[in-house]
Structure 1
């Protein structure tokens, strides 16, 4: 009985932890999603350090976006990244019917003033979007997407670099590098 309790204690002590110390049961990867079905890998320390100097590089990295999304969630601004990702998905769509469907969904989820996930856009960009909704194209949200990308880069990214989420990841990768 005592050995069983000891082995259970050892198993629970190795549960990965998300930034902020929250336990992440059933995780085997970097993305904090607890699904164990994704293929993302923990990036090396060099790559993580490069993110601190290059927002574009972080945004091109699945692992970087996942970590940034975790941070944005703590700031209640995750919708900015979700909008940007939805626009990226729309740009890759060729089927006209799906373009219309995705464009309408993006509008309802992120542009509409009735949406709880509304992103902050200026009136000029909103007018262009409203006109473009009459004949949606894969690139109809480019101005809005650029505006949100710039907002994340200038506003959220500097706070992300100073966040506990990012610092914890840097420390953990430095420790694993030193252990090697």
Structure 2
């Protein structure tokens, strides 16, 4: 009969966590190499520490952060944020309705496959906004998720093996 991880001795659990972090770092480096054909420069990786916005503004920083979130099973946050950024760039008002509905169903609806963590009031306001979509109908929800990532996920990213292995 297989035993769960909780039945392993502490030293084994620590080793499993270490191996998971190393594997994640290796996969991150592979992904960064595929996206830019080179490792991020040390100066770039150090700029990511100065602000969350600097991290998101840099292609490799965004890639590293997304990979980190995937390792924590919370990649839906950055996916939602980026979907909202793309949505705001929609030029044709005829496409707003279908795009808004798709984002709502994927990230906000109670049965959403990639539901983000929003309070009831924000969900209600967003649902009402999507009824008559504008370019700003997701602004409140996007702002809440941005703040969540900035205050919670970003500090963890900076302390992670993913980040520490990218800088000297």
With the length of structure 1 as denominator, give the TM-score of the two structures.
0.74
The structure carrying a bigger helix percent of its residues is 2
Equivalent residue, structure 2, for 1:149: 146
Between 1:45-54 and 1:78-87, the stretch displaced more is: 45-54
Deviations 1:36-77 (A, max 9, x none): 4x4575432112111112111101111111100000001110
* Aligned pairs for 1:10-159 within 5 A: 20-21=22-23, 32=31, 36=34, 38=35, 42-159=39-156
SS of the residue 2:44 aligns to: helix
Structure ranking higher on relative contact order (CA contacts 8 Å, 6+ apart): 2
CA distance in 2, matches of 1:87, 1:21: 31
Gaps of 5+ in 1: 1-18, 175-180
Greater radius of gyration (CA): 1
Deviations 1:4-62 (A, max 9, x none): xxxxxxxxxxxxxxx723666xxxx967178x4x4575432112111112111101111
CA distance in 2, matches of 1:167, 1:123: 37
Gaps of 5+ in 2: 1-20
